[in-house]
Amino acid sequence: MAIARVIANKNDGVKHRKIHHHVPRQYLSNDCLDRGCMAAIVLQHEISGVSSPLPSNDNYKKEQYNQDKETVNNCSAKRRKSWGSTNIGFHLTEDTFFILKIKYIVVIQIDPGKGEDAKKIQYATWDESGSSLAFVYKNDIFYKESPKSAVKRLTDSGVVNKIFNGIPDWVYQEEVLNSDHALYFSPKATFIAFIQFDDTKVNWYQFPWYGDKGNSYTSIRKIAYPKPGFSNPTVTVNVIHPETGNTVSLLEPVDFRKIDHYVINIAWASETAVIVTWLNRDQNKAVLHMCNLEQTSTSPYLRSICEENSVITVQNGWVDDKYQTPYFSKDGSYFITKWPFSQGGAGKFIHLAKIGTKGKTNPVAVTSGAWEVVTILAHDDKNEIIVKITSGELSCLTCNLATVIKGNKCSYYSASFSLGGSWYILYCRGPGIPEVTLRSTNIDKVETLEDNHALRERLDGVSLPVVESYNITSGSYDLYVKEYRPPNFDPRKKYAVLFSVYGGPASQKVVDSYGYGFETGYLVSNFDLIVVNVDARGTCCRGEKFKHEVYRHLGEYEAEDTINVAKEVAKYDYVDETKMAIWGWSYGGFLTSYVLGVNSGVFKLGMAVAPVTDWRYYDSIYTERYMLTPEKNLKGYEASSVLNKAKNFQNDSFLLVHGTGDDNVHFQNTAQLVAALTKAGVKYQVQFYTDKNHGLLGTETQKHLFRLLTDFLTTELRIK
């Protein structure tokens, strides 16, 4: 059973409300579920219904906690969990980790060594049986064969901020792995595969940190941050035998050995075979490399033999960046992954592929049509069932999914499966109030985990914004558009319009997720204002042709489509065409600024938060995926730069916001745009937030920001 997900958007639209759609998330085994919420953790046997609470977080701070009582009966595997995580950066965390044995609750703190600080452990993971543990401390990998065994150091090359073993550096975590680790046990824990990231040649981005008001001098913070055309991290894939310490480095594909490249995925096919996916720096060719490991009793060395399995090559575009971990059959003879397949004149779409593991193999399409598979959630080749949640209708290849979702009016889903695939949590994310249910793939059993009853009661009798969806043509495409109208909408009145944009490649704004936040909840409900979302060319799930339109010239078609849609919306009888505005954050801030720089006349003002203003300032992996390097596409970089359009901005029409501590989209972007606008003699407003990162987090900062945006919008558009 290979299960793929339909339309999954990172921005699921449920922020700004206390909607409890986030629990539970992680299965401990096939039949037991960790139903953790905040500090309380409950382990429930989902067949018998018996549940028992585990000690609270406070109890775990004791070095040992013994309870001479069996906590849970009939659970199939050793259970494990960690507590005490502390955020230390944009993504990276350092934790105090404990080992918890469920049968007799014993808490053993993991100690990396005498005199070392256990609170600085960066990552910890168990093997599939729950017997062995690997963790990363000061960028090196350590290993415990069992909870009571001594800690064994596996690597000694780690250097803080320079060489990372088993955990990614900033750019790999942000743009490639989307994970806090790069360390993977083989199925039976004979080997550990891991990536080493060497940032020695990567340039530092440095920025001032103002700190406490009592500091007479500022400090300087720095991060290894590769930018377009500059040196990238060097990566090496290693496999280590933790018992002997024998290690082998897996070779890159022949074509990649003399050029810059990336590692985008590692997956174990069997106990002695691992598949590594490599990507060239231009990101238009990916090679899946199958490596077989050998260690004989007569040789102390670990050896590997790698051969090319399959290749993706893309013309005038990039390899799909939603990198999929392959799902292997139990006998290791094939795997299921995502692959671009031609759908005739419509071009290529991302679908499920079945690929053999022996030698060089051509992928075989498992699904087809003018829609896309977004991700695969689980796999069980025994029943040969593939369930997919896609960009089209919810469907099933070999089963009747209507029995699974009977009575549920949702159209926007995600799911999480137990290790054995017999249980899954179905998240209904919209368009109605989210619900979370636990379901079985084998028996007709449904348990409601969260129905948001309290929220439903609070909203009973409350008039919510009116949502309308439709298409508007731009160029040769029908674009998806969504309108949020005031609850008391009167078609005889004239309303101001705010376009809320993002528009980044493979993103989405027009989805059926539930959510009434700052724009679609507060602004629409309190002012004579309509909010509009549009998915322009380059966005998700409409095929490679639609997505790759923006290749080599970010901003151009996104802006053209947004402006074309705005011109059509301005013609509606209920729209005041003199009161049209646009705003966005991050890529949305870039698009907002670009649109104002085009000066089409349709938008009277714009608000940009943390925008990219020149793609030479952003990170290499993201930017070069769509733009190549400045050396290969200088005209594209110049054309996409908002700095070159500063003279076209209208006076008193632009609010620019940024945090000085932004380690993602650097404050440099806003500083340079301020310089360009000033040089052009344009009147504008700018607001910076001291030491705040890309999310501008903090209660008071958020209050100030959204009041600022509201005041600027309502004052300049003269709306009530």
Q: pLDDT of 438-485, one tens digit each?
A: 888 777 778 889 989 999 889 888 888 999 999 999 989 999 999 999
CA distance 113 to 152: 9
Q: What is the arithmetic mean of pLDDT over 694-717?
A: 96
pLDDT of residue 298: 57
Label residue 296 by pLDDT band (50, 70, 90). Answer: low
Label residue 594 by pLDDT band (50, 70, 90). Answer: very high
Higher pLDDT, 131 or 194: 194
One CATH from 3.10.20.30, 1.10.357.140, 3.30.450.40, 2.140.10.30 for 149-325? 2.140.10.30
Label residue 113 by pLDDT band (50, 70, 90). Answer: low
Least confident of 323-327, 416-420, 536-540: 416-420
Higher pLDDT, 322 or 639: 639
**How many helices and strands in the chain, by DSSP H and E?**
11, 42
Tens digit of pLDDT for each residue in 486-518? 999 999 999 999 999 999 999 999 998 888 889
Tens digit of pLDDT for each residue in 370-397? 999 888 887 766 655 444 445 554 444 3
Q: What is the DSSP string of 600-665?
A: -SS-SEEEEES----GGGS-HHHHHHHH--TTT-HHHHHHH-GGGGGGGSPTT-EEEEEETT-SSS
Quote the mean pLDDT of the chain.
Answer: 83
H helix intervals, 416-510: 453-459
Least confident of 31-35, 524-528, 700-704: 31-35
The residues near 653 (Cβ < 8 Å, ≥ 6 apart) are 596, 604, 605, 606, 684, 716
pLDDT of residue 459: 87
pLDDT of residue 115: 62
pLDDT of residue 400: 39
Write the single-letter amino acid at 697: L
Reduce the DSSP state of residue 118 to 3 states and report it: helix
Q: What is the pTM of this model?
A: 0.86
Percentage of the chain beyond pLDDT 90 is 62
pLDDT of residue 678: 97
CA distance 299 to 195: 25
pLDDT of residue 441: 76
Q: Is the pLDDT of residue 140 over 50?
A: yes
pLDDT of residue 129: 84
Higher pLDDT, 312 or 432: 312
pLDDT of residue 462: 86
Label residue 159 by pLDDT band (50, 70, 90). Answer: very high
Q: What is the arithmetic mean of pLDDT over 639-666?
A: 96
Q: Is the pLDDT of residue 350 over 50?
A: yes
Percentage of the chain beyond pLDDT 70 is 79
Handedness of CA 345, 351, 354, 359 (dihedral sign): positive
The catalytic residues are 586, 662, 694
Q: Is the pLDDT of residue 310 over 70?
A: yes
Q: Which residue has the tokens 């429930």?
A: 44
Write out the CATH class of domain 463-717.
Answer: alpha beta
Tens digit of pLDDT for each residue in 203-221? 999 999 999 999 999 999 9
Q: What is the DSSP string of 339-373?
A: EEEE-GGG-EEEEEEEEESSSS---EES--SSS-B
Q: What is the arithmetic mean of pLDDT over 63-69?
A: 31
CA distance 642 to 66: 62
Count how many residues are written for the chain: 720
Give helix 556-570 / helix 587-598 axis angle, nearest 10°.
70
pLDDT of residue 117: 66
Least confident of 44-58, 151-165, 447-461: 44-58
pLDDT of residue 300: 60
Tens digit of pLDDT for each residue in 70-98? 232 233 333 333 333 333 344 445 554 55
Tens digit of pLDDT for each residue in 564-588? 999 999 999 999 999 999 999 999 9
pLDDT of residue 177: 94
On whether the CB atoms of residues 673 and 646 are closer than 8 A, the answer is: yes
- The residue ranges of every structural domain in the chain are 149-325, 328-373, 376-461, 463-717
Q: Is the pLDDT of residue 618 over 90?
A: yes
Q: Which two tokens stand for residue 117?
A: 């600080």
Which residue(s) pair with 287 in the sheet?
A: 278, 311
Q: Is the pLDDT of residue 41 over 80?
A: no
Q: Is the pLDDT of residue 549 over 80?
A: yes
